[in-house]
Amino acid sequence: MTLGNLGHLLVILSFVTALVATYAYLRATLLSTDNLQVETWKRFARGTFYIHAASVIGVCVTLYAIIYGHHFEYHYAWSHSSRALPWYYMLSCFWEGQEGSFMLWMFWQAVLGVILIRTNKLWEAPMMTVYALVQAFLTSMILGVIIPGLDFKIGSTPFLTIAEANPGAPFLQLNPDFVPKDGNGLNPLLQNYWMVIHPPTLFLGFALTLVPFAYLMAGLWRKQVIEWLRPALPWTLLTGVVLGVGILMGGYWAYETLSFNSYWSWDPVENAVYVPWLVVIAALHTMIIAKKNATALKTSVILVIAQFILILYSTFLTRSGILGNASVHSFTDLGLSGQLLLYLFAFIIVAVVLSVRAWKLMPSDKEEVSSYSREFWLFMGATVLCLASFQVIIPTSIPVWNSIVESFGGVSRLAPPTDAITYYTKFQLWFFSVIAILSGIGQYFWWKRVQKGKMQELLTPLWISLFISALLITFGGINKLPYIALLTAGVFALVANTTIIIGVLRGSYRVSGGSVTHIGVALMLLGILWSSGYQKVVSLNASGLLISKEDYFTKEDNKENKENVLLWLGQPTRMGDYLLTYRGPRIEIRDVPEFVPNSWVDVIEGDFHAVCLRDITLGDKTYHKKGDTVSVYAENAHYEVEYREPNGRITTLYPRVQFNEKMGLVTSPDIKRELNKDLYSYVTIGGDPKKAEEWSPTENVRVAMQDTFFINDFVAVLESVGRTDKVEGIALTPNDVAVKAQIKILDKEREYFITPTFAINQDRMVMRKPEVNEDLGLRIQFMEIDPKTGTFSFAVNSKQRDYIVMKAVEKPLINVLWIGTLVLIIGFSMSTIRRFREFRLVRDKGVELEKV
């Protein structure tokens, strides 16, 4: 049995067992009056789901084995991987394609399903009925089965061979057994350690949204309209923290890898994940007060349904191809659009039917909630979060609306915002200013530090916040009203929540998770304010000359021509407070800890290996000898740029460029990190080190000793010609004669010396060793000596001097943002651990006596 056949078999097994587990759990739920039959069906369902989980893991292992084993006869391995990739980037190959990402989602849901079965027996049958049904739908996405007679395909399988994926292809008619020697490789933007851990985290967040949804559906189904809150609340918290961490990882990956100067671009695919997370957080706040407030309970039902449905909707947006013209991150359509819509609408219908059926059983509030109660302020916070999510999802969905209109024969002229960053930011800034204020006020009401007629406790953090904000506005040069509002709100949230924590710590630190989380949010807002609102381009073009006439450089009144600096190889250039020197292209040898000059190795074309042209020695350690074959990342070019500060301190950065056949020039930044700012640098134009050098036609010059002459606009002086005993690359014998010329080249700011050699061996054969100076783009060869006239002849070739065009941006106080994310995660984790501990104590004490 081939690996592909094994994978197909396991996919079918996982689909069938998900359906059987769904049916068995359904029977166990409907037979709730017969304990013996209930337990029998539960045991059967449990065992079936365990088989399902094992088969899902087997599917994942099989696909990774195909990728890791370089089985390029399979279309998925050929499309997404190559022999050049290390094992950890092969993990990224696993989920680069649609099928692999669905499998990652399935994997996490299978693992979580096993945990849920083993941790909550009371809710197992109704909750796992919903859970297993969702898993069956998800598993169907990779079935790749065509229904005979209907020509309808269910799912798209990753286990197709190249021949099966390309039936009738001309190259297969010539050679039916054709197997590529190598694959297309991984998208260069995904060749980053964050892409190894970000997608698994994000898809774990996707899988976790199902857990509170399944508990809610089970509660509504069994008419336990309040009881579902207790088991669902800790899982909702865990969903918030994991999905949030996944989003933040994506932001940090974008900051380190992409060259749009930021960590968030409001791309539709980013928005499609951000919106469900906002709704999760809103649901979390209403669930906390739902037992005491009927409005919050009903709102919680709506929001828990919405957060799961929005995950399905985001899946449709990113995988149906509908965002193809609106997002650079979306997948192409694999013919799964109809299946995704069926998945989406099926669970909308299930959720709506169960909610309508149970709505009349939900309690009603006897009186309006007082604005002096903590329930009011939590509800207000949830409302603003929902409004913020609506503001993002509606414009993001414009392509969907256009598609619907066009499907009915109409024409829609709506278009997504052209400047997404400006459009979304101007609204979200105000929403989060309000959220920051509410987070401070809400904590005071939550801990009953203020009550009706006793609001003076809030005055202290208010006056402190206004004083700090005034100082920051004055000395920080903040003069835009939206920024002033965000700064003041962020400082207030920071001061108010810190004050609460000081009081809470006198009791137990475990209950301070909410305040810690809100402090993290406040720090993030302040970090975003400074790092994005007050970033400064330092790579200003002081020459007054246009660097490029391409559209990218000339649009917006030559914006990029003004904000990029041209660096010639070896020539220091002033940039703000820094003196920059471009030192040349560098290559990465896999087992060498530092980049090395390209001239040290000769790359073997298409083999991801290189031959050492010299000993690879760094410091006191020699890693490879001359002539050794080494593994290299041949597709990546790193450009060494030296930053010299006024105090003499030198920092070296290596911004990366990949010359990719599919994507063209792909640039990634390198970052000079300081305590109060980052210097973010990336190459916008760079020469391809792998391209052959184009030398000018040979120019012959004849000069005498100490003559001054011109070489390609440089002034040159022949300083000396003398005998030498060594010529690099030529083995001299005692009877050979070799001489070396020393030619001084005068550049603008320094002198260079070029030393070509001329040798005659014992057989009177002439050997000429040319000397190349990359900084000047010159190659000089010592051609002959005329003893009668005392002159020397040289052959000179020139080429374009190596250069790069680079952009550098200072991002002040960006570390405040990263510190805030860490504090946010800590606070969320504290609250999650506390709620799980409370649930476990209640469960173990048998407080939940309701039979489910």
CA–centroid distance for 56 within its chain:
26
The alpha helices in 97-224, defined as continuous H runs, are 98-119, 124-140, 162-165, 170-174, 194-221
pLDDT of residue 505: 66
DSSP state for residue 510 in the 8-state scheme:
G
pLDDT band of residue 729 (cuts 50, 70, 90) is low
pLDDT at 692: 65
pLDDT at 713 (0 to 100): 79
What's this model's pTM, rounded to 2 decimal places? 0.87
Among residues 256, 153, 127, 284, which one has the least CA distance to residue 198? 256
Please choose, from the candidates 109, 111, 210, 154, the residue with its C-alpha nearest in 3D space to the C-alpha of residue 12: 154
Instruction: Report whether pLDDT(849) > 60.
Output: no
Q: CA-to-CA distance for 11 and 23, rounded, in angstroms? A: 19
Note the pLDDT tens digit of each residue in 613-636.
889 999 889 999 989 999 888 778
Closest Cα partner for 586 from 671, 680, 683, 684?
Answer: 683
Tens of pLDDT, residue by residue over 749-783, are: 788 899 999 888 777 778 888 888 888 889 999 99
Identify the pLDDT of residue 628: 92
Angle value at C-alpha 163, between 162 and 164, nearest 5 degrees: 90
Token pair for residue 316? 């449709």
- β 791-798/778-786 pair status: antiparallel
Alpha helices in 447-571 (DSSP H): 459-476, 481-504, 513-533, 551-562
Query: Position of tokens 């997504």?
Result: 416
pLDDT value at residue 375: 84
pLDDT at 129 over 80: yes
| Structure confidence at residue 848 as a pLDDT band (50, 70, 90) | very low
**73 CB contacts (<8 Å, ≥6 apart)?**
161, 162, 179
Residue 284 in this model has a pLDDT that exceeds 80? yes
Rounded Cα distance between 211 and 240, Å, is 12
* SS3 call for 262: coil
Q: What angle do CA 75, 80, 84 make, to 5 degrees?
A: 115
Percent of the chain with pLDDT over 70: 93
What is the average pLDDT score of the chain? 87
| 210, 134 contact by CB (below 8 A) | yes
Q: Is the pLDDT confidence value at 410 over 60?
A: yes
Summarize pLDDT for 706-718 with one digit per residue, the tens: 999 988 878 999 9
For the chain, give the percent of residues with pLDDT over 90: 46
pLDDT digits (tens, 9 = 90+) for 62-72: 999 999 999 99
Region of residue 286 (phi > 0: left; psi between -120 and 50: alpha; otherwise: beta): alpha
633-688 pLDDT, tens digit each: 877 889 999 999 999 899 999 999 887 666 667 888 999 999 999 999 999 887 76
Structure token pair of residue 741: 């010329």
Q: Cα–Cα distance between 743 and 757 in angstroms, integer?
A: 11
The residue assigned the tokens 């089965």 is: 145
Which of the listed ranges 333-342, 599-608, 700-709 does the model predict with the highest average pLDDT? 700-709
- Burial code of 330-368, b = ≥16 C-beta within 10 A, e = fewer? bbeebebeebbeebbeebeebbeebbeebeeebeeeeee
pLDDT band (50, 70, 90) for residue 326: low
pLDDT at 610 over 70: yes
**Higher confidence at residue 378 or residue 403?**
378
Q: Are 208 and 240 in contact (CB under 8 A)?
A: no
pLDDT in tens, 105-123: 999 999 999 999 998 888 9
Structure tokens at 461: 């953090």
Q: Which residues pair with 670 in a beta bridge?
A: 681
| Side-chain half-sphere CA neighbours of 211 within 13 A | 30
- DSSP SS3 for 658: strand
Confidence of residue 332 (pLDDT cuts 50, 70, 90): low
Burial class (CB in 10 A: 0-12, 13-18, 19+), 625: exposed
Which range has the worst mean pLDDT, 348-352, 617-621, 818-822?
Answer: 617-621
Mean pLDDT for 317-322 is 77
Instruction: Evaluate if residue 850 carries a pLDDT over 70.
Output: no
Residue 852 reports pLDDT greater than 50: no
Beta bridge partners of 657: 637, 667
* pLDDT reported for residue 483: 93
Eight-state DSSP code of residue 222:
T
8 Å CB contact between 613 and 629: no
Give the separation between CA 107 and CA 335, rounded to whole angstroms: 23
Angle between helices 87-96 and 98-119 in degrees, nearest 10: 90
What span, in angstroms and rounded, lies between the C-alpha atoms of 219 and 354? 9
**Residue 276's pLDDT band (boundaries 50, 70, 90)?**
very high
246 vs 500, which has greater pLDDT?
Answer: 246
The whole-number pLDDT of residue 631 equals 86
Q: Using CA atoms, how far apart are residues 563 and 565, in angstroms rounded to an integer?
A: 7
- Contact between residue 563 and residue 552 where contact means Cβ atoms under 8 Å apart: no
- Name the amino acid, one letter, at 100: G
DSSP helix/strand/coil, 506: coil
Q: In this structure, are strands 714-723 and 708-711 parallel, antiparallel, or unpaired? A: antiparallel
Displacement of CA 131 from its chain's centroid (Å): 29
The predicted-structure confidence for 416-454, as pLDDT tens digits, reads as follows 888 888 899 999 999 999 999 999 888 888 877 776 666
Report the SS3 class of residue 748: coil
**Which of 463-477, 723-737, 826-840 has the least mean pLDDT?**
723-737
Chain center to CA of 434: 29
pLDDT in tens, 146-189: 776 666 778 888 999 888 877 777 766 677 778 888 888 888 77
What is the C-alpha to C-alpha distance for residues 428 and 437, in angstroms, rounded to an integer? 14
Name which of 585, 775, 789 is nearest 688 in CA terms: 585
Residue 316 main-chain phi, psi, to 5 deg = -60, -45
